[in-house]
């Protein structure tokens, strides 16, 4: 029997080490070069606002084929040569297979890391597209008035009671869970004794009021929250900003969002570990809470963010220099990324920045 997050970590490590994930799904940088270009320019503009530190770390988490970074570098070399000279590239990537692809796509100066912990301290700009959704989650299910945790055994879910917990005090009223609650502020949590708190969810910032409905599912991505907290500490100490683009709701929401893609099609997440890509929705409100200390901007819908950054203008300018078929596909790609009923609304952009940094581009109210 394996806890769901352990199962998911093992399955995804095997999947990314042995498969070309882009055979199963595509991502924004693979859809259009303009995505990486505008994110590179966002980083350059933010670097100006930071006072042009030299050197500055340019970090990407989960760079896939290296496409986003290659497109960003090209745009930056042209539009912001000072930033291009100042930046030091650090990639956080665990898959040897994808590291090899990144080495082909990018200049030799890249340094790789297994996780953020070994990235040196310093002023930093960080980009992460569809990285957090691949990180392992835990799931809790409400049964007979108590919380059970989901484990995986023999390719199916089993539920075990949550025990031995230090329970955490509820969020202040109105700062809670679910649609309709007020915007989340960063929170700190104080441990209460388990008997004060009833059935325990160990170490979890749990919703208030706890959902009572039989079968309610609550998800928690501890590594994503740990990364948000680490990034917040780093940018607050040394300056900088981090941009996370991923899909998920603005407010923490109940429900099972674990999904698998195998051979490009939805699959049973437990059936074939290592053969399918496992993802879950990103809980942006939880990230924002974890990033307390830094300033959190957004989340704003990806479509709005990219449109503000000039996705359509840049795609249009590029299209004018291309043959008609390529020009049309560039404009269609921009629409796919930005239209609300496609990737524009479900995908969100969140920025964790130094508290004194002016409002980053794209996050204006």
Q: Please give the residue ranges that form the binding site for ligand SAH (CB under 6 A).
A: 12, 16, 21, 27, 29-30, 62-64, 68, 92-95, 98, 129-131, 134-135
CA distance 140 to 220: 8
Residue 308 corresponds to which tokens in the numbers above? 């503000």
DSSP per position, 33-49: HHHHHHHHHHHHHHHHH
Q: What are phi and psi of 169, to 5 degrees?
A: -60, 145
Nearer to ligand SAH, 46 or 129 (CB): 129
The CB-of-232 to ligand SAH minimum distance in angstroms stands at 19
CA distance 42 to 58: 12
Q: How many degrees, rounded to 5, is the angle at CA 343 between CA 337 and CA 346?
A: 145
DSSP class of residue 141 equals E
Nearer to ligand SAH, 130 or 175 (CB): 130
Residue 307 corresponds to which tokens in the numbers above? 């449109």
CA distance 121 to 98: 25
Closest CA to 98 of 137, 73, 58, 130: 130
The CB-of-27 to ligand SAH minimum distance in angstroms stands at 3
Nearer to ligand SAH, 86 or 134 (CB): 134
The CB-of-130 to ligand SAH minimum distance in angstroms stands at 4
- Compute the Cα dihedral for 303, 307, 308, 311 and give only its sign: positive
The CB-of-13 to ligand SAH minimum distance in angstroms stands at 7
The CB-of-317 to ligand SAH minimum distance in angstroms stands at 23
The CB-of-29 to ligand SAH minimum distance in angstroms stands at 5
**3 state DSSP class of 249:** coil
CA distance 144 to 140: 13
Nearer to ligand SAH, 270 or 343 (CB): 343
Nearer to ligand SAH, 171 or 243 (CB): 243
The CB-of-63 to ligand SAH minimum distance in angstroms stands at 6
Tell me the residue number closest to ligand SAH, measured at CB. 62
The CB-of-81 to ligand SAH minimum distance in angstroms stands at 25
The CB-of-136 to ligand SAH minimum distance in angstroms stands at 8
Nearer to ligand SAH, 45 or 226 (CB): 226
Nearer to ligand SAH, 94 or 238 (CB): 94
DSSP per position, 148-207: EEEEEETTEEEEEE--SPPEEPPPPTTS-SSTTSPPPPP----EE-HHHH-S--TT----
| CA atoms within 13 Å, Cβ hemisphere of 48 | 13
Nearer to ligand SAH, 130 or 149 (CB): 130
Nearer to ligand SAH, 12 or 251 (CB): 12
Across the chain, where does the E strand assignment appear?
2-3, 56-61, 87-92, 111-113, 124-129, 138-143, 146-153, 156-161, 167-168, 191-192, 217-220, 240-247, 259-262, 265-267, 277-279, 295-301, 347-353
């Amino acid at each position: 029997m394996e806890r769901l997050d352990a199962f998911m970590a093992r399955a995804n490590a095997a999947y990314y080490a042995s498969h070309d994930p882009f055979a199963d799904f595509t991502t924004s940088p693979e859809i259009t070069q303009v995505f990486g270009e505008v994110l590179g320019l966002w980083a350059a503009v933010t670097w100006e606002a930071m006072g042009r530190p030299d050197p500055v770390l340019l970090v990407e988490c989960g760079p896939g084929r290296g496409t986003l970074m290659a497109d960003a570098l090209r745009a930056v070399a042209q539009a912001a040569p000072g930033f291009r000279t100042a930046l030091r590239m650090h990639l956080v990537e665990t898959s040897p297979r994808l590291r090899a692809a990144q080495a082909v796509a990018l200049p030799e100066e890249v340094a790789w890391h297994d996780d953020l912990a070994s990235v040196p301290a310093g002023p930093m700009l960080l980009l992460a597209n569809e990285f957090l959704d691949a990180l392992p989650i835990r799931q809790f299910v409400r049964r007979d008035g108590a919380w059970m945790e989901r484990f995986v055994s023999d390719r199916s879910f089993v539920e075990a009671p949550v025990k031995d917990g230090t329970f955490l005090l509820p969020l202040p009223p109105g700062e809670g869970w679910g649609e309709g609650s007020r915007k989340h502020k960063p929170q700190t949590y104080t441990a209460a004794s388990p008997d004060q708190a009833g059935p325990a969810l160990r170490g979890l910032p749990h919703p208030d009021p706890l959902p009572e409905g039989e079968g309610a599912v609550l998800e928690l991505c501890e590594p994503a929250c740990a990364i948000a907290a680490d990034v917040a500490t780093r940018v607050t100490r040394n300056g900088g900003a981090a941009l996370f683009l991923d899909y998920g709701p603005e407010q923490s929401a109940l429900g099972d969002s674990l999904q698998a893609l195998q051979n490009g099609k939805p699959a049973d997440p437990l059936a074939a570990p290592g053969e399918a890509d496992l993802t879950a929705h990103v809980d942006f409100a939880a990230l924002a809470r974890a990033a307390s200390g830094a300033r959190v901007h957004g989340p704003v819908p990806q479509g709005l963010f990219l449109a503000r950054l000039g996705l359509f203008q840049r795609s249009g300018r590029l299209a004018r220099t291309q043959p008609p078929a390529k020009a049309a596909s560039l404009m269609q790609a921009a629409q796919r990324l930005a239209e609300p009923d496609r990737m524009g609304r479900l995908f969100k952009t969140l920025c964790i920045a130094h508290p004194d940094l002016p409002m980053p581009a794209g996050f204006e109210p």
